[in-house]
Amino acid sequence: MSPTLTLIQGDITEQAVDAVVNAANSSLLGGGGVDGAIHRHGGPEILAECRALRAGHYGRGLPTGRAVATTAGRLPARWVIHTVGPVHSDSEDRSDLLASCYRESLRIADELGAGTLAFPAISTGVYRWPLDDAARIAVETVRDAETAVEEVRFVLFDAPAYEAFAEQVR
């Protein structure tokens, strides 16, 4: 089954869903943008689990395109799924890595038994991916996914991001 897609303009830290996806960096130790907001609102428990992941299986960091789950701390969600988007490049096509972030996050959500999942617009902030292209990759990848997740909510922070995604789901 492919999930129902919903779009909202808002803040991902306020979403009452089973799992929220974090556009993390490979260090897993926090950053700006969505990552900063998730750690700020979710509290220190999330960072503690991220540190444990770095001390264990992900000693060299989480590779681009992969995903891993932690607690959601004080967020109104059960889990945060951290994924590392690719930095956009004009000289190399990294679309498959961006698609992989969505696929891998859905795979982890299935492992957790999450029925509802919220995504931000991965890689469209400091990683500079053009919004229209990022929205196309996100929507196509989620639509094509074989998953038990029932609802995928794209949470877009501002009007241009919302419009770019709305264009793809029309």
Dihedral of CA atoms 103, 107, 108, 110 in degrees, nearest 10, equals 140
37 touches ligand ADP by CB under 6 A:
yes
Q: Rounded to whole angstroms, how far apart are CA atoms 152 and 119?
A: 7
Q: How many residues bind ligand ADP (CB under 6 A)?
A: 21
127 touches ligand ADP by CB under 6 A:
yes
Question: 18, 35, 132, 158: which is the annotated catalytic residue?
Answer: 35
144 flagged as catalytic: no
120 touches ligand ADP by CB under 6 A:
yes
Nearer to ligand ADP, 11 or 167 (CB): 11
Sign, CA dihedral 79-111-69-87, equals negative
Q: Rounded to whole angstroms, how far apart are CA atoms 102 and 105?
A: 5
155 touches ligand ADP by CB under 6 A:
yes
Mutual orientation of helices 33-42 and 44-55 as an angle, nearest 10°? 110
33 touches ligand ADP by CB under 6 A:
yes
142 touches ligand ADP by CB under 6 A:
no
Q: Rounded to whole angstroms, how far apart are CA atoms 78 and 80?
A: 7
Residues 6+ apart with CB under 8 A from 170: none
Choose, by CB under 6 A, the member of 100, 105, 123, 147 that binds ligand ADP.
123
* Residues known to be catalytic: 35
- Residues forming the site for ligand ADP (CB under 6 A): 11-13, 23, 33-35, 37, 85, 120-127, 155, 157-158, 161
